Structure 1
Amino acid sequence: MNVALWIAAGLLAAVALAGGISKTFIPKARLAAQHGGEWTQDASSGFVKSLGVLELLAAVGLILPAVLDIAPVMVPVTSACWIALMVGAMITHGRLGQYKLVLVNAVYLAIAAFIVWGRFGPWSFSS
Structure 2
Amino acid sequence: MNVAYWIVAGLLAAFYLYGGGLKVVRSRERLRPMMAWVDSVPVPAVRALGVVEVLGATGLLLPPLTGVAPWLAPAAATGFVILQIGATGVHLRLGDRQVAMNIALVLAAAVTVPLATLRL
TM-score, length of structure 1 as denominator length? 0.89
Residue 87, structure 1, aligned to residue 85, structure 2: yes
User: How many corresponding residue pairs?
Assistant: 120
* Aligned counterparts, 1:1-127, within 5 A: 1-32=1-32, 34-35=33-34, 37-100=35-98, 102-120=99-117, 124-126=118-120
Which AA in structure 2 matches 1:17? L
The structural deviation recorded for 1:14 is 0.3
The structural deviation recorded for 1:97 is 2.9
> Are 2:28 and 2:38, in contact at CA under 8 Å, matched by a contact in 1?
yes
The structural deviation recorded for 1:118 is 2.1
The structural deviation recorded for 1:23 is 0.4
What runs of 5+ residues in structure 2 fail to find an aligned partner? Answer: none
> Are 2:21 and 2:50, in contact at CA under 8 Å, matched by a contact in 1?
yes
Which AA in structure 1 matches 2:103? A
Give the distance between the partners of 2:38 and 2:104, measured in 1 at CA: 22
Percent identity of the aligned residues?
38
Q: Runs in 1 of length 4+ with deviation above 6 angstroms?
A: none
Deviations 1:80-111 (A, max 9, x none): 001110011101111223222x1101111111
Give the distance between the partners of 1:118 and 1:30, measured in 2 at CA: 36
The structural deviation recorded for 1:49 is 0.2
Give the distance between the partners of 2:56 and 2:21, measured in 1 at CA: 12
